Structure 1
Amino acid sequence: MALDRTDLRLLALLQRDGRASVQALSEQVHLSARATLNRVRKLERQGLITGYRAVLDRAAIGPAVVFFAEIALKDQRQAASRRFEARMQATPEVVACYLLSGRYDYLVRVACADLAQYQRLTNGWLEDAELGIEKIVTSTELQTVKEFGGFPLAWKV
Protein backbone atom coordinates (compact mmCIF):
# COMPACT_ATOMS: atom_id res chain seq x y z
CA MET A 1 0.00 0.00 0.00
CA ALA A 2 1.65 3.16 -1.24
CA LEU A 3 1.31 6.25 0.92
CA ASP A 4 1.56 9.74 -0.48
CA ARG A 5 2.52 12.94 1.36
CA THR A 6 -1.08 13.65 2.32
CA ASP A 7 -1.55 10.19 3.85
CA LEU A 8 1.68 10.57 5.82
CA ARG A 9 0.67 14.05 6.99
CA LEU A 10 -2.72 12.72 8.14
CA LEU A 11 -1.05 9.88 10.02
CA ALA A 12 1.35 12.30 11.72
CA LEU A 13 -1.48 14.65 12.69
CA LEU A 14 -3.63 11.82 14.05
CA GLN A 15 -0.72 10.42 16.07
CA ARG A 16 -0.42 13.81 17.70
CA ASP A 17 -4.17 14.30 18.23
CA GLY A 18 -6.47 11.37 17.55
CA ARG A 19 -9.50 13.53 18.36
CA ALA A 20 -8.79 16.14 15.73
CA SER A 21 -11.91 16.96 13.78
CA VAL A 22 -12.11 16.15 10.10
CA GLN A 23 -12.45 19.89 9.45
CA ALA A 24 -9.24 20.67 11.36
CA LEU A 25 -7.40 17.87 9.57
CA SER A 26 -8.68 19.00 6.18
CA GLU A 27 -7.40 22.53 6.76
CA GLN A 28 -3.92 21.21 7.58
CA VAL A 29 -3.68 18.88 4.58
CA HIS A 30 -5.43 21.28 2.18
CA LEU A 31 -8.24 18.93 1.12
CA SER A 32 -11.99 19.13 1.47
CA ALA A 33 -13.50 17.64 4.61
CA ARG A 34 -15.10 14.85 2.54
CA ALA A 35 -11.80 13.94 0.82
CA THR A 36 -10.01 14.00 4.19
CA LEU A 37 -12.62 11.76 5.80
CA ASN A 38 -12.36 9.32 2.87
CA ARG A 39 -8.58 9.16 3.27
CA VAL A 40 -8.79 8.59 7.02
CA ARG A 41 -11.33 5.81 6.53
CA LYS A 42 -9.10 4.25 3.85
CA LEU A 43 -6.13 4.34 6.26
CA GLU A 44 -8.29 2.65 8.91
CA ARG A 45 -9.50 -0.05 6.48
CA GLN A 46 -5.94 -0.74 5.37
CA GLY A 47 -4.93 -1.27 9.01
CA LEU A 48 -2.53 1.66 9.19
CA ILE A 49 -4.67 3.19 11.93
CA THR A 50 -5.48 0.45 14.41
CA GLY A 51 -7.24 2.50 17.07
CA TYR A 52 -7.50 5.68 19.07
CA ARG A 53 -6.83 6.14 22.77
CA ALA A 54 -6.59 8.70 25.52
CA VAL A 55 -3.20 9.48 27.05
CA LEU A 56 -3.61 9.72 30.82
CA ASP A 57 -1.73 11.92 33.26
CA ARG A 58 0.08 9.37 35.44
CA ALA A 59 0.28 11.70 38.43
CA ALA A 60 -3.45 12.39 38.30
CA ILE A 61 -4.49 8.72 38.35
CA GLY A 62 -2.47 7.93 41.45
CA PRO A 63 1.04 6.91 42.38
CA ALA A 64 2.66 4.18 40.36
CA VAL A 65 6.14 2.78 40.31
CA VAL A 66 7.35 1.74 36.88
CA PHE A 67 9.87 -1.02 36.39
CA PHE A 68 11.73 -2.37 33.39
CA ALA A 69 12.26 -6.11 33.55
CA GLU A 70 14.80 -7.75 31.27
CA ILE A 71 13.66 -11.34 31.02
CA ALA A 72 15.56 -14.37 29.75
CA LEU A 73 13.64 -17.57 29.02
CA LYS A 74 15.08 -21.04 29.59
CA ASP A 75 13.62 -22.19 26.27
CA GLN A 76 13.48 -20.04 23.14
CA ARG A 77 11.27 -22.36 21.14
CA GLN A 78 8.09 -20.91 19.67
CA ALA A 79 5.69 -22.65 22.08
CA ALA A 80 7.55 -21.26 25.11
CA SER A 81 7.56 -17.76 23.63
CA ARG A 82 3.82 -17.97 22.89
CA ARG A 83 3.07 -18.99 26.50
CA PHE A 84 5.17 -16.13 27.86
CA GLU A 85 3.68 -13.57 25.47
CA ALA A 86 0.12 -14.69 26.29
CA ARG A 87 0.82 -14.17 30.00
CA MET A 88 2.24 -10.70 29.35
CA GLN A 89 -0.82 -9.81 27.25
CA ALA A 90 -3.12 -10.96 30.07
CA THR A 91 -1.30 -9.09 32.86
CA PRO A 92 -2.75 -5.59 33.38
CA GLU A 93 0.40 -4.32 35.11
CA VAL A 94 2.42 -5.03 31.95
CA VAL A 95 2.13 -1.81 29.96
CA ALA A 96 4.61 -2.80 27.22
CA CYS A 97 6.48 -5.93 26.20
CA TYR A 98 9.14 -6.22 23.50
CA LEU A 99 10.88 -9.26 22.02
CA LEU A 100 14.59 -8.45 21.76
CA SER A 101 17.80 -9.73 20.32
CA GLY A 102 20.78 -9.81 22.65
CA ARG A 103 21.34 -10.99 26.23
CA TYR A 104 17.66 -11.00 27.18
CA ASP A 105 14.68 -12.28 25.30
CA TYR A 106 12.14 -9.65 26.41
CA LEU A 107 12.01 -6.15 27.82
CA VAL A 108 8.84 -5.67 29.85
CA ARG A 109 7.59 -2.35 31.25
CA VAL A 110 5.53 -2.89 34.38
CA ALA A 111 3.48 -0.34 36.36
CA CYS A 112 2.64 -1.25 39.96
CA ALA A 113 1.30 0.53 43.02
CA ASP A 114 4.51 -0.24 44.91
CA LEU A 115 7.58 -2.46 45.08
CA ALA A 116 5.71 -5.15 47.04
CA GLN A 117 3.17 -5.57 44.22
CA TYR A 118 6.00 -5.86 41.68
CA GLN A 119 7.74 -8.49 43.81
CA ARG A 120 4.54 -10.55 44.13
CA LEU A 121 4.00 -10.33 40.38
CA THR A 122 7.52 -11.33 39.35
CA ASN A 123 7.77 -14.02 42.04
CA GLY A 124 4.60 -15.51 40.59
CA TRP A 125 6.14 -15.48 37.14
CA LEU A 126 9.32 -17.16 38.38
CA GLU A 127 7.38 -19.85 40.26
CA ASP A 128 5.25 -20.70 37.23
CA ALA A 129 7.22 -23.50 35.57
CA GLU A 130 5.15 -23.18 32.37
CA LEU A 131 6.48 -19.66 31.79
CA GLY A 132 10.04 -20.98 31.86
CA ILE A 133 11.72 -17.78 33.02
CA GLU A 134 15.42 -18.22 33.64
CA LYS A 135 16.21 -14.75 34.90
CA ILE A 136 14.68 -11.34 35.53
CA VAL A 137 16.86 -8.25 35.85
CA THR A 138 14.93 -5.22 37.07
CA SER A 139 15.55 -1.50 36.73
CA THR A 140 13.31 1.13 38.30
CA GLU A 141 12.17 4.07 36.22
CA LEU A 142 13.23 7.25 37.99
CA GLN A 143 11.83 9.71 35.47
CA THR A 144 10.21 9.52 32.05
CA VAL A 145 12.27 11.78 29.84
CA LYS A 146 10.32 11.07 26.66
CA GLU A 147 7.22 8.92 26.34
CA PHE A 148 6.21 7.20 23.12
CA GLY A 149 4.34 9.76 21.07
CA GLY A 150 4.08 8.03 17.73
CA PHE A 151 6.37 6.80 15.01
CA PRO A 152 8.50 9.23 12.99
CA LEU A 153 7.03 9.61 9.51
CA ALA A 154 9.14 12.41 8.02
CA TRP A 155 11.70 9.93 6.70
CA LYS A 156 8.98 8.22 4.66
CA VAL A 157 8.40 11.23 2.44
Structure 2
Amino acid sequence: MPKIRLDRIDRRILSLLQEDGRQPNNELAERVGLSPSPCLRRVKALEEAGVIAGYVALVDAGSVDLPVNIFVSVSLDRQVEDRLDAFEAAVMERPEVLECYLMTGDADYLLRVVVPDLASYERFLKDHLTRIPGVANIRSSFALKQVRYRTALPLGHLPE
Protein backbone atom coordinates (compact mmCIF):
# COMPACT_ATOMS: atom_id res chain seq x y z
CA MET A 1 0.00 0.00 0.00
CA PRO A 2 1.34 3.47 -0.83
CA LYS A 3 2.78 5.50 2.05
CA ILE A 4 0.68 8.51 1.00
CA ARG A 5 -2.92 8.75 -0.12
CA LEU A 6 -3.04 9.04 -3.89
CA ASP A 7 -5.76 11.16 -5.44
CA ARG A 8 -6.93 11.23 -9.06
CA ILE A 9 -4.19 13.69 -10.09
CA ASP A 10 -1.44 11.63 -8.42
CA ARG A 11 -2.66 8.51 -10.22
CA ARG A 12 -2.69 10.41 -13.52
CA ILE A 13 0.85 11.69 -12.89
CA LEU A 14 2.02 8.14 -12.16
CA SER A 15 0.34 6.76 -15.28
CA LEU A 16 1.88 9.42 -17.50
CA LEU A 17 5.34 9.07 -15.97
CA GLN A 18 5.18 5.29 -16.44
CA GLU A 19 4.55 5.92 -20.15
CA ASP A 20 7.34 8.50 -20.44
CA GLY A 21 9.51 9.33 -17.45
CA ARG A 22 11.42 11.97 -19.40
CA GLN A 23 8.55 14.27 -20.26
CA PRO A 24 9.16 17.84 -19.13
CA ASN A 25 7.32 19.00 -16.02
CA ASN A 26 5.44 21.71 -17.93
CA GLU A 27 4.09 19.08 -20.36
CA LEU A 28 3.17 16.74 -17.51
CA ALA A 29 1.46 19.59 -15.66
CA GLU A 30 -0.61 20.49 -18.70
CA ARG A 31 -1.67 16.87 -19.22
CA VAL A 32 -2.86 16.52 -15.60
CA GLY A 33 -4.48 19.97 -15.43
CA LEU A 34 -2.10 21.68 -13.03
CA SER A 35 0.33 24.55 -13.27
CA PRO A 36 4.02 23.49 -13.31
CA SER A 37 4.87 24.33 -9.66
CA PRO A 38 2.12 22.24 -7.98
CA CYS A 39 2.78 19.42 -10.44
CA LEU A 40 6.49 19.39 -9.58
CA ARG A 41 5.65 19.42 -5.84
CA ARG A 42 3.42 16.39 -6.33
CA VAL A 43 6.11 14.53 -8.28
CA LYS A 44 8.70 15.32 -5.58
CA ALA A 45 6.28 14.13 -2.87
CA LEU A 46 5.70 10.87 -4.79
CA GLU A 47 9.48 10.41 -5.06
CA GLU A 48 10.11 11.19 -1.38
CA ALA A 49 7.35 8.79 -0.30
CA GLY A 50 8.94 6.02 -2.35
CA VAL A 51 5.92 5.67 -4.66
CA ILE A 52 8.24 6.64 -7.53
CA ALA A 53 11.23 4.40 -6.88
CA GLY A 54 13.43 5.74 -9.70
CA TYR A 55 13.73 6.43 -13.40
CA VAL A 56 15.27 4.17 -16.03
CA ALA A 57 15.86 3.81 -19.76
CA LEU A 58 14.34 0.63 -21.19
CA VAL A 59 16.91 -0.93 -23.50
CA ASP A 60 15.84 -3.29 -26.28
CA ALA A 61 17.50 -6.63 -25.41
CA GLY A 62 17.91 -7.67 -29.05
CA SER A 63 19.70 -4.42 -29.86
CA VAL A 64 22.40 -5.24 -27.31
CA ASP A 65 22.71 -8.91 -28.29
CA LEU A 66 20.76 -10.38 -25.37
CA PRO A 67 17.95 -12.20 -27.19
CA VAL A 68 17.67 -15.30 -24.98
CA ASN A 69 15.22 -15.19 -22.03
CA ILE A 70 15.14 -18.16 -19.69
CA PHE A 71 12.78 -18.69 -16.78
CA VAL A 72 14.54 -20.83 -14.20
CA SER A 73 12.80 -22.66 -11.36
CA VAL A 74 15.17 -23.44 -8.50
CA SER A 75 14.50 -25.72 -5.54
CA LEU A 76 16.73 -25.78 -2.49
CA ASP A 77 17.55 -28.84 -0.42
CA ARG A 78 16.19 -27.14 2.72
CA GLN A 79 14.01 -24.05 3.12
CA VAL A 80 15.82 -22.59 6.09
CA GLU A 81 16.83 -18.99 6.55
CA ASP A 82 20.57 -19.43 6.01
CA ARG A 83 20.02 -21.36 2.74
CA LEU A 84 17.52 -18.77 1.50
CA ASP A 85 19.84 -15.90 2.42
CA ALA A 86 22.84 -17.56 0.74
CA PHE A 87 20.90 -18.21 -2.44
CA GLU A 88 19.54 -14.68 -2.59
CA ALA A 89 22.96 -13.14 -1.97
CA ALA A 90 24.53 -15.25 -4.73
CA VAL A 91 21.79 -14.38 -7.21
CA MET A 92 22.15 -10.67 -6.44
CA GLU A 93 25.75 -10.88 -7.70
CA ARG A 94 24.80 -12.22 -11.14
CA PRO A 95 24.08 -9.61 -13.84
CA GLU A 96 22.32 -12.22 -16.01
CA VAL A 97 19.55 -12.51 -13.41
CA LEU A 98 17.11 -9.69 -14.07
CA GLU A 99 14.38 -10.91 -11.73
CA CYS A 100 14.23 -13.31 -8.79
CA TYR A 101 11.15 -14.25 -6.81
CA LEU A 102 10.74 -16.40 -3.70
CA MET A 103 7.81 -18.62 -4.64
CA THR A 104 5.19 -20.92 -3.23
CA GLY A 105 4.52 -24.21 -4.98
CA ASP A 106 6.90 -26.70 -6.57
CA ALA A 107 10.01 -24.49 -6.71
CA ASP A 108 11.49 -22.16 -4.13
CA TYR A 109 12.63 -19.48 -6.59
CA LEU A 110 11.77 -18.30 -10.06
CA LEU A 111 14.45 -16.40 -11.96
CA ARG A 112 14.41 -14.55 -15.25
CA VAL A 113 17.81 -14.82 -16.87
CA VAL A 114 18.91 -12.97 -20.02
CA VAL A 115 21.95 -14.09 -22.04
CA PRO A 116 23.27 -13.74 -25.59
CA ASP A 117 23.15 -17.46 -26.43
CA LEU A 118 22.78 -21.01 -25.12
CA ALA A 119 26.48 -21.41 -24.48
CA SER A 120 26.38 -18.39 -22.16
CA TYR A 121 23.46 -19.90 -20.29
CA GLU A 122 25.30 -23.21 -19.95
CA ARG A 123 28.31 -21.36 -18.46
CA PHE A 124 26.00 -19.48 -16.08
CA LEU A 125 24.48 -22.77 -14.94
CA LYS A 126 27.74 -24.69 -14.55
CA ASP A 127 29.91 -21.92 -13.15
CA HIS A 128 27.42 -20.13 -10.92
CA LEU A 129 23.91 -21.45 -10.33
CA THR A 130 24.82 -25.08 -9.63
CA ARG A 131 27.59 -23.98 -7.25
CA ILE A 132 25.32 -22.12 -4.87
CA PRO A 133 25.14 -24.12 -1.62
CA GLY A 134 21.80 -25.81 -1.14
CA VAL A 135 20.61 -25.82 -4.76
CA ALA A 136 18.91 -29.18 -5.25
CA ASN A 137 17.01 -28.84 -8.52
CA ILE A 138 17.05 -26.50 -11.51
CA ARG A 139 14.46 -26.45 -14.29
CA SER A 140 14.87 -24.12 -17.25
CA SER A 141 12.17 -22.92 -19.62
CA PHE A 142 13.27 -20.97 -22.68
CA ALA A 143 11.03 -18.19 -23.95
CA LEU A 144 10.31 -18.65 -27.65
CA LYS A 145 8.59 -15.31 -28.19
CA GLN A 146 7.82 -12.30 -26.04
CA VAL A 147 4.10 -11.74 -26.47
CA ARG A 148 3.75 -8.89 -24.01
CA TYR A 149 6.20 -6.90 -21.94
CA ARG A 150 5.11 -4.01 -19.76
CA THR A 151 6.76 -2.08 -17.01
CA ALA A 152 3.80 0.20 -16.20
CA LEU A 153 1.75 -0.96 -13.23
CA PRO A 154 -2.05 -0.95 -13.61
CA LEU A 155 -3.37 1.72 -11.24
CA GLY A 156 -7.11 1.40 -11.85
CA HIS A 157 -7.70 -0.43 -8.57
CA LEU A 158 -6.64 2.53 -6.41
CA PRO A 159 -9.51 4.30 -4.62
CA GLU A 160 -10.71 7.69 -5.83
Task: Give the TM-score band, short-chain normalised.
Answer: over 0.9
Partner residue, 2:12: 9
Fraction of identical pairs, as percent: 38
Per the TM alignment, residue 94 of structure 1 is displaced from its structure 2 partner at its CA by 0.5
Partner residue, 2:34: 31
Q: Which residue of the other structure, out of 142, 145, 148, is the alignment partner of 2:144?
A: 142
Q: How many residues align?
A: 155
Per the TM alignment, residue 47 of structure 1 is displaced from its structure 2 partner at its CA by 0.6
Runs (4+) of structure 1 exceeding 6 A deviation are none
Per the TM alignment, residue 77 of structure 1 is displaced from its structure 2 partner at its CA by 1.4
Q: Which residue of the other structure, out of 102, 122, 138, is the alignment partner of 1:119?
A: 122
Whether 2:154 is the aligned partner of 1:152: answer yes
Matches within 5 A, 1:4-153: 4-124=7-127, 125-128=129-132, 130=133, 132-153=134-155
Query: Secondary structure of the residue that 1:156 maps to in structure 2?
Result: coil
Separation in structure 2 between the aligned mates of residue 22 and residue 51 of structure 1, nearest angstrom: 16
Per the TM alignment, residue 16 of structure 1 is displaced from its structure 2 partner at its CA by 1.1
Query: Secondary structure of the residue that 2:62 maps to in structure 1?
Result: coil
Provide TM-score, normalisation by structure 2: 0.91
Q: More deviation in 139-148 or 36-45?
A: 139-148
CA RMSD of aligned residues (A): 1.2
